[in-house]
Amino acid sequence: MEQSIISESPAPVVADVQLPEYSLAEVATHNKKDDIWIVVHGQVFDVTNYLQDHPGGAEVLLETAGTDATADFEDVGHSEDSRDILQEYLIGTLKDAKKYVSPKAVRVIPQRSQKTAPPSSSSARSVGAIVGALGTATALLYFVNRSNPGAIDMRKAWGQIIPSKLNVSRLPGGEFAHGFIMATAVCALLGSLVAQQAAKFTKIDSGFLRYPPRIKARKRPRADPHLAKGFLDAKEFQRLPLVRKDELASNVYRLVFTLPDQKGVIGLPIGQHVAIRAVVNDTTVSRSYTPVSNNLDLGRLELLVRCYPDGLLSGQYLAKLEVGDEVEFRGPKGSMQYSRGLCTKIGMVAGGTGITPMYQLIRAICEDDRDTTEISLIYANRTENDILLREELEDFARKYPKNFKLWYMLDTAPEVWQYGTGYVTQAVLSERLPSPSPETKILLCGPPPMVSACKKTLVAMGFQKPGAISKIGDQIFCF
C-alpha cells in the first residue's frame, strides 16, 4: 500500500486539539480545483481557498492536488512565513506516514585546470621514451655527419636553434660534448611540444563540471484536447449525416451529426464556430452556428438551433431535416479562440440562442481542473420556457460555484421567480458582472438591439470601446 512521507522535524500541531486522521486514499479524492487537499510532512491541508492567492500560481497547487507534496514543498524552499500560512489550512494528519529524509548533497571534487594538470604516469613514460629516442637519433646523426664530409653540416643546422653566444666548442669533452648538448637542446624543445599534445589526451573535456547546476525539470504540460485537429476543414465543405433530431422547445432543435470516425473529433477550438451550406429555392445559402459539442465528444457534432419560420436556412432547411439527411459543414471559423489563462474573469451577456458560444466556453472552463477563470453569466429570455440548456447551466453552477455564477433575466417572469426581470440595465450589469480591469473580458451574443445597448452601457461603465470587428484582445467581444 502506498504510504506518504514526513520530515524528521514536522511542523508543530496546534496543542490540545485532536485532529482527524486521513489515509492517502482519502486525500487523493480531493483533487479538483474547487476541492484541493495536499499532504506536507504528514499533515493534511485543505488549500482550496488559497488557490488564487498562492504566489507560485494556482497551477502549482493543482498539479499536487490530492497527493503528498512534501518533496515538492521542500524542493522549492519555502520561507518560514509561508510555513506559518500553511498551518492556517491544517485539517488533519496522515495515517501511516513515513519520515521524509532530505536528499544528501553530492560532494563535488574540483577538476584541475589544463595548465597545471600533469599527464598520467603512463603518458609521462610515453613522452620520456619519445624524448630518449629523439636524443639517440640526434647524436647518431651528428657523428654520421662528422664522418661523412658530404653530409649536411649539422652544426650549421643546430646553429639555427642554439643561441650563437653559447660556444659549445670550448666546453670539456670536445666534439662529443658539442653533439650531446645540441641533441639535448633539440630534444628539450621537441619534448615540450610532445608533452603538451599528450596532456590534451589525458584531459576530460566532457566532465560534469562543464555543465550548469542541475535544474529541476518541469512536468511536461498536458496537451490541450481542444486544439487537436479533426474532421473540419477550413477551406472545403464536407458532408455529415444527421442521426438525431430533438425538439427542445417551440422551433428549437438539437441536431446531432455523426463523424466518419466514431473515435474522431470535430477539430473545433473553444470559441469558434462552423458554417453550414445548403441550396434553398435554387439559391446557395450559408450561415454560421456554434456547436454545443467539442473535442471531448468523440464521433459527433451537435448543434442547438432556433428555426425561425421565415428563416431561409433555419426555417426552410434545418427545420425540415430528417434523420439520414446529409449537411455540409466547413470550419473552424471566428476570431475568438479561448485558451486557459486568457484572463482571470469573464462576464457574459447572452440572449436566446446566443447562449451556444457561451455554453461552449463555460463547459470547457468548468471541465478543466486546471482552469481557475471566474465566469459570470447574465442570460436573457422572454419567458421561462425559452431558457435553453437550463439543466446543463444550472448543473455547472451547482458543481463549480467558484468558476461559474448564473443569473437569468426574463421579460415575463412567473409569480415565484428568484432571478431578474425586465431589461439588462446598467444596474444589472454592475451587480452581476466583474468590474473593468486588464484581466477581465466581457462576451456578448444575442439579438442585435440587446448587444448594441449592452456595448454602450459597458463603455460608459469604464470598459474599453471595441472596434467594428471584434478581436480576441478586446475587452468587449461580440460573437
Binding-site residue ranges for FAD: 287, 289, 304, 314, 356
- C-alpha 244/C-alpha 260 separation (Å) is 16
Sign of CA dihedral 180, 185, 190, 192: positive
What single DSSP character describes residue 68? B
Q: Put residue 178 in one of left, alpha, beta given phi > 0 → left and psi -120 to 50 → alpha.
A: alpha
Q: Would you call 41 a catalytic residue per the annotation?
A: no
* C-alpha cell read off for 311: 428563416
Element (H, E) at 242: strand 238-249
Pairing of strands 476-478, 440-445: parallel
Alpha-carbon distance of 186 to 131, in angstroms, equals 10
Cα–Cα dist 20/427, whole Å: 47
Q: Reduced to 3 states, what is the DSSP secondary structure of residue 7? A: strand
Compute the residue count for the chain: 479
Look-up: residue for cell 467581444?
Answer: 477
Determine contact, residues 266/238, Cβ cutoff 8 Å.
no
Distance CA 154, CA 307 (A): 110
Peptide bond into 163 cis (omega under 30): no
DSSP 385: G
Q: Is 253 a catalytic residue?
A: no
Catalytic residue among 290, 373, 440, 457: 290
Residue 289 catalytic? Answer: yes
Task: Judge contact between 336 and 477, C-beta under 8 A.
Answer: yes
Is residue 419 part of the annotated active site? The answer reads no
The end-to-end CA distance of the chain, in Å, is 52
3-class SS of residue 299 = coil
CA distances from 423 to 346, 428, 459, 465 (A): 21, 9, 18, 22
Q: CA-CA distance, 294 to 309, in Å (whole number)?
A: 28
**187, 366, 445, 454: the active-site residue:** 445
Catalytic residue from among 22, 289, 359, 379:
289
Just list the catalytic residues.
273, 289-290, 445
